[in-house]
Amino acid sequence: MESSATTTASSSTGPPLSAALPTGDYEVFLSFRGADVRKRFADHLYTSLARAKIRTFRDEEELEKGEAIESSLVLAIPESKIYIPILSERYASSKWCLTELAQMVECWKQGKGHIILPIFYFVDPRDVRKQQGPYQQAFEEHTTKHTPQTVNEWEEALLKVGKMKGWHVTESHGEGAVVDEVLSKVESHLRSMYTLVTDELVGIDTPVKEVMELLNLGSSTGKVIVGIHGMGGLGKTTLVQAVYNKICAQFDRCCFLDDAREALAKSNGVVSLQSKVISTVLKVNFQVRSVSEGINLIKDRVCKHKLLLIVDDIDDKFEFDRILGKLGDFSSSSRFIFTTRYSRALDFIPDCKLYEPREMSRYFSLQLFSKHAFGMDDPPEEDAGISEEFVKVATGLPLALKVIGSFLFRRERSFWEEKLIELQEIASTSENPLLKRLKISYNDLSPDEKQIFLDISCFFIGSYKDVLYYLWSDCGFYPESGITTLIDRSLMKFDEEDRFWMHDHIRDLGRAIVKEEDVEHPYKRSRIWSFEDTLDMLRKGEGSELVKVVWIDMGFEDDNDILLESKNF
């Protein structure tokens, strides 16, 4: 494309993005030629990308001393997601640059999500396409030194890239503005690539469409808040993850706060949430020191962006003004989504549009159950009848369908029939049928697996596994096989950062099991995860030998020292 530096860039036309996106160490690959380009435009662009925490490859930064250039490029180019060739007058004189460009085009043609954003730096895009002007002389020399096949590959690459939309930098247009536009485009593409992981998308299309209609994305005349409420296990988190994936590329900044209710239950809950918002939006690691500092920073640094903020699982302790500041300070193009089990929690959110997801239909319920019970969309003909019965007792709750289906996977028919009777009795008699349904999977775990499950649900959600594996091994457990069983039963999984993750209802199940050990006295339970209960126990010296694990907040500040003594246990 022949355009001025003020033209907004877009991705190259070509094969559609595939779900199998590049997953290597680099996000952006810069290709350029010449010390003049390096010291001016390339350095400015590289610094801006680095400041935005975007992992960028350029040879002087990434090639270790003595390392072969070609071997490094072979790895760096396919692993990168976005290619930015800076096509200057001297670019075509370098066989390395042309080799890089040819490999970029080859990766792009494979349709695996790679994107090329060319910059025509004081060179006419027509000269690039047709190898005219300074490119003509360079290719006349290449034809005497390289094989016809190699030269043809380079010519084809220049032809492809020369036709792509990009930026044409000239004397009349400032380089700084182009760098800002390139950075904005790169961030937009990366947001669309880094979607939230959600694997339960059965029957989700209609709810996603309805929520997006409430968000009124086409309007920039006012902020929109949507509150999604409904009973636990209904799929609210999966729904907002799917909405996030659909619309995140339309915003300057996006932030997803999960498990807000659990975070706010801690002594530093408000500043913890504020810190996450500020760190995510500004792309820095920042720890807020006080609630007022957090509100001021959000007002001054966060509110100016076109923001998508999703806060998952709030309760009536969530106060918008106290945590995020005044709604009126945010950009009119911003959008907010809150989820909660308690509709009254949304009474405290200003101008909130309400949405209540429906229970999953029988058709989609059977499909979701079958995915986990059989590994296919539909049950085998001989198992269709009993599968329908399990779907009935799950009452359209995705979490129950997933856990029950995983629990029954590859079990004998007699086992299915026995558990169906048990679930039918629970559905007719239990005050909390969902937790009781989930508990049948817990009851079938080995003693060691139960201990690992309870440890994770009470203490270790969000923790990395390495140290904990050593801990459990020292206790005589078998963490590798135990964790595998929990994952197979859909009782937990690892998130994208390899940390323990549980659905909040699964977590609540584990904690309810521990509470049943002694309903009235926390210090007579095996695990104490509430720091307030731990403090109360230590101050009164009421610990017992039943206690195995307690939670202590080492950042807690108190005027009175707390003495830990073994005699308390």
Element (H, E) at 499: none
Taking the C-alpha atoms of residue 533 and residue 524, their distance in angstroms, rounded to an integer, is: 11
> Which entry of 100, 153, 155, 200 is annotated as an active-site residue?
100
209-240: buried (b, 16+ CB within 10 Å) or exposed (e) per residue?
A: eebeebbebeeeeebbbbbbbbebbbbbbbbb
| Known catalytic residue at 100 | yes
| Contact between residue 10 and residue 185 where contact means Cβ atoms under 8 Å apart | yes
| Contact between residue 515 and residue 528 where contact means Cβ atoms under 8 Å apart | no
| CA atoms 80, 84, 90, 93: torsion sign | positive
Give the closest residue to 57 by CA, choosing from 99, 65, 49.
Answer: 49
Cβ count near 495 (within 10 Å):
13
Cβ count near 294 (within 10 Å):
26
CA dihedral 396, 402, 407, 409 (to 10 degrees): 110
How far is residue 461 from each of residues 267, 269, 457, 468, 564, measured CA to CA in Å?
A: 18, 16, 6, 11, 25
The tokens of 59 are what? 């040879």
Catalytic residues: 100
